[in-house]
Amino acid sequence: MTVLEPRWRKSSHSGGGDNCLQVRYVGGVVQVRDSEDPEPVQTYTRSQWDAFLAGVRSGEFELPPED
C-alpha cells in the first residue's frame, strides 16, 4: 500500500499564476508556503487557522482606504 503525501492547494483567487500561497492539511496541522520559494513552511494548529479564516471573513485584515 502506498501512502500519498497530502497535496498543496492554492486559492482559486490566485489567477492561475505561480506567485501565490499554497496550503495543505497534514498530521492535524495546517501548513502554508510560498509557491515560488517552498521553504520555509509555516505551520499552524487547526484552531489558529480557523481564527485566521474567521478574521478574513469578518474583514479584520482589510486595508484602509487610500488617501
32 vs 9: CA distance, rounded Å: 9
In the DSSP assignment, the letter for residue 14 is G
62 vs 50: CA distance, rounded Å: 18
Whether 1 shows a pLDDT value over 60: the answer reads no
Residue 11 banded pLDDT, cuts 50, 70, 90: confident
> For residue 16, what pLDDT is reported?
62
CA 21 to chain centre: 6
In the DSSP assignment, the letter for residue 19 is S
* Number of other CB atoms surrounding residue 63 within 10 Å: 5
Torsion sign, CA atoms 11, 42, 33, 60:
positive
pLDDT, tens digit, 9 for 90 and up, residues 22-63: 999 998 999 999 888 878 899 999 999 999 999 999 999 999
> For residue 20, what pLDDT is reported?
85
> For residue 50, what pLDDT is reported?
95
